[in-house]
Amino acid sequence: MKRLATILVLMLGFAVSAANAVDVDGKILPGEYAKEQSFEKGSFRLLWRIVDDNIFMAIESDAKGWVAVGFEPTRIMANSDMIFGFVESSGSVKAVDAWSTGMFGPHPPDVDQGVKDSLLSFAGARSGNRLVFEFSRALNTGDKYDKLPYNAVRNSGCTVF
């Protein structure tokens, strides 16, 4: 009986873990992300979920080129931590962890500014005219060019321009 109870507890633990799991695979599944913000009548959707000390984010857009999200700019894009994603027609996916040095850029990659790329994983896909780009990273990377808008991601408030 004790063994059966232990097995049931373990199975419940795995079920709860699976319910909080995000698979960074270029697909957005129902319930995969806890929070969502939609812009421009759905032409750009930002989704996220915090799991332990990591954030998982997805962007779904009808963009033909790069998509990006920026965290905590001081003025327009200046001093914002940015993540860029691109899915080529071949299916190859590119991602850049960057820092915007001015109001409208440039936004060189973090690695070109003497710090590390903080992305833990990324994936993307194109289907018809829609692009999906997903990524994950630690909430606190220790990188001086990485920020996270704690109030926005925890309370679902975002400012997009």
The domains of the chain are located at 23-155
Closest-CA residue to 55 (of 122, 118, 136, 117): 136
Which pTM was predicted?
Answer: 0.80
Give the burial string for 60-73 (b: 16+ CB within 10 Å, else e).
Answer: bbebeeebbbbeeb
Q: pLDDT tier at 58 (50, 70, 90 boundaries)?
A: very high
Per residue in 74-125, pLDDT (tens digit) is: 888 887 889 999 999 899 999 999 988 888 888 878 888 888 889 999 999 9
Q: What is residue 119's predicted lDDT score, i.e. its pLDDT?
A: 94
Pair 68, 85: CB distance under 8 Å? yes
7 phi and psi angles, rounded to 5 deg: -65, -45
- Relative to beta strand 81-87, strand 93-99 is antiparallel
